[in-house]
Amino acid sequence: MRFYDRESELKVLRDTAELSRTRSQFTVIMGRRRIGKTTLMLKAFEDTKSVYLFISRKSEGVLCADLQNAIRGSGIDIPGRLETFGDLLRALMIHSAAEPITVMIDEFQNLTHVNPSIYGDIQEVWDLMRDRARINLVVSGSVHSMMVRIFEDSREPLFQRCTRKLDVSPFGTDVLKRILSDHNPGYANRDLLTLYMLTGGVPQYVEVLMDSGAVDSEAMLRTALSPGSVFLREGDDLMVAEFGKDNKVYLSVLQLIASGIGSRARIEDILKVSAGEYLKRLDEEYGFVARDLPMITGDRRLGRWRVTDMYLSFYFRYIQPNQSFVEAGRTDLLERAVRADIESYEGRVLERYLTQRIREEWEYTAVGGYWNRKGDVEIDIVVVDDIARTVRMVEVKRNPDKLDMGDLRRKADTLEPLIRGYDVELTGMSMDDM
């Protein structure tokens, strides 16, 4: 699959490389696994004097020997044999004083497993030499919790050392449309919905499907659920990377939320454990979940948890609960389980897709859903623009024939005392609006 999008990220990185010709720059690229951080770096600096270094979990001496070979292979002469990462960085910064260079370090958090004291060595070298060097240092990492700790924890040596932080997000809906159109010009909207459901716009998941010729809904599901598919193991790999192998409670919390259980009280009742700390870490430290409040009222007592990542939502709804089928090689049974429930799930996915599209295209100050305590009033999407003094309420149905604007009006009327002075617009959206 060819390179798509990332124009703003490319501009930031290329502008940073230009700035580094007179003053050293230190950029941190963050984003979940498979989001395309490596591809982005290599694309941004393809016409720049640069070296790409991958951090594998080896002894420091062996790793430095490997990295030195990579540096020499990039046409940069580093004399002698350097045994420590700090010495390696010092040599690169000395070289950059005479010739500006970009140094890309991938899977930076793996240095923790090589030698945790390396971060202190990097701090020392950077603080001492950055004003005399002309290095464009760009580091990336796929374990979110570790990267946050390394650069945002005030107790860590590299706290506030980076000059720029770049967060890489999944592709937006417009890019997904463009990619699918390039591979399947006559695609149906359900094909687009399935692509969003399985990948959430994560580039490497999209690439797996497109490069395998899975360009329609049926083929995408078959490919994702086939033996050996990356979709069957990626969720577990992500969990082990972030939480280690002692991750049972985290997995259980995510599975419950993905199944539609969004209340902390219900989660705790089922698991028989206090879930507050787990939810807090999943939200604030890992970004795997978020807590939604009803629009207009913002009633915190009615908060609902959701899995933020579309792939993980699919994984924890279908694949993780049916691991026995996967382990037994009976992916046919897994596929049957998915297909038996998929139509119901697609309705929720469509709401997520249209909410994202609205965030990308409409003017607003807040977007979300509305529900009341009794459970008799629920509005799929509410779009508030406090500047224009407008409220747009949206009902979502897969089939446009099932949209009931009269029922939406009844629900809107219950909120009338809370939105006086705002112009209210009622809208129905379906798969036709993708």
pLDDT in tens, 12-24: 999 999 999 999 9
CATH at residue 146: 3.40.50.300
Residue 263 structure tokens: 């209340």
Predicted TM-score of the model (pTM):
0.92
Range of the domain at 265: 176-340
pLDDT in tens, 105-123: 999 999 999 999 999 999 9
Number of domains in the chain: 3
| Domain shared by 265 and 330, yes or no | yes
Mean of the per-residue pLDDT values of the chain: 95
Domain's final residue, options 340, 373, 408: 340
Asked if 211 and 251 sit in the same domain, the reply is yes
Weakest-pLDDT range from 70-79, 288-297, 360-369? 70-79
pLDDT tens profile 146-174: 999 999 999 999 999 999 999 999 999 99
For residue 355, tell me if it sits in a domain: no
From CA 255, how far away is CA 369, in angstroms rounded? 22
Write the DSSP string, 165-229. EEE-----HHHHHHHHHHH-TT--HHHHHHHHHHHTT-HHHHHHHHHTT--SHHHHHHHHTSTT-
Looking at residue 190, its pLDDT comes to 97
